[in-house]
Amino acid sequence: MSTATLTSKGQITVPAAVRAALGVGVGDRVEFVEIAAGRYEFIAATRSVTALKGMFGQPRKTVSIEEMNAVIAKRGAAAR
């Protein structure tokens, strides 16, 4: 079992063995998910960009960068 101590600023150092098992390092994000009253899971919130491929299916219509920029400019001007 790994343990950590809470600092006066509310911070902890995650033990090296836990970081290695989760595959997290400096700058990575983690989540705390409540699984029961007073019990939390510590989850690595990192995901490879390639894992996101296909998440939303095929696009209905392809859009060029120029078209995207035009819509952004139009919406931005309308918001003023």
Distance CA 18, CA 35 (A): 19
pLDDT tens digits, 33-74: 999 999 999 888 877 777 777 778 888 888 999 999 999 999
Specify the higher pLDDT residue, 4 or 78. Answer: 4
Close Cβ partners of 14 (under 8 Å, ≥ 6 residues apart): 4, 24, 30, 42
> Which residue ranges make up each domain of the chain?
16-78
Distance CA 63, CA 7 (A): 50
Determine contact, residues 33/40, Cβ cutoff 8 Å: yes
pTM over 0.85: no
For residue 49, the SS3 value is helix
Q: How many CB atoms lie within 10 A of CB 56?
A: 7
